[in-house]
Amino acid sequence: MLCADVFCSSIVDVVRDKNCALLQLLVQGRFSVPDAKRGLLLAAENGYTDCLDVLLQAGIKPELEDTSCGAALSAAASAGHDNVIVQLAAAVSRGCLNAQWCGSTALHKAVVNGRGSCVGALVDAGANVNAVNSAGDTPLIVAAKHCRQSLATMKCLIGAGCDLQRVDAERRTALHYACYRAVGAELLLSAGAQTNVQVNTT
């Protein structure tokens, strides 16, 4: 009866139940790759590291053509699963690590959601600290715009060598937003942020 149970189960359902033993049996046979990728995304969203490990070891590639890698990394970053980020980052290429999903990289998602440990994990894995999202913002500018735990995040990004002078679509730097929100201005100035960047008023 075990075989019947195995072949009637979807990978998504098994991951949802966190049944790693059954998951290992499923991936040893023939399975649906789209189902496996959906299972990988579910594991990343929920921090199910054991299930994620089974899927990665089974050869489920998080960087296939549908940008599932970006989705998985972004989901983990948004939810604060730094251990999942470490697993995925070890399994993907640098390009995939910096892929955009819904207009933002995983690093942007971690910053905007105040996930400091995920920011650190992504930076350690080699994420591009100067990547620009669809709004034209670098992770540092996003951190300066959003006060939620932004000081530690800004320290991490500055320590990784991010560009302090980069401007957004309105020609504002992170320093402009830090001054406006009264968070991180001293940090940015001590790191060498310039005060003479003109804001675009047109």
For residue range 45-62, list pLDDT tens digits in order. 999 999 999 999 998 877
Residue 101, strand partner residues: 104
Residue 129 inside a domain? The answer is yes
Say if CB 72 and CB 41 are below 8 A apart.
yes
Q: Residue 70's Cα: distance from chain center in Å?
A: 8
**Buried-exposed string 112-136: b where 16+ CB fall within 10 A, e elsewhere:** bbbbbebbbbbbebebbbebbbeee
Residue 74: CA atoms inside 13 Å, Cβ hemisphere, count?
A: 19
Q: Is residue 104 part of a domain?
A: yes
* The pLDDT of residue 20: 95
The answer to whether the beta carbons of residues 173 and 197 sit under 8 Å apart is: yes
Q: Residue 122: inside a domain, yes or no?
A: yes
Q: Is residue 199 helix, strand or coil?
A: coil
Is pLDDT at 3 greater than 90 in this prediction? no
| Domains: count for the chain | 1
**CATH of residue 121:** 1.25.40.20
47-51, 74-78, 97-101, range with the lowest pLDDT: 97-101
Domain assignment present for residue 52? The answer is no
| Domain extent at residue 192 | 94-202
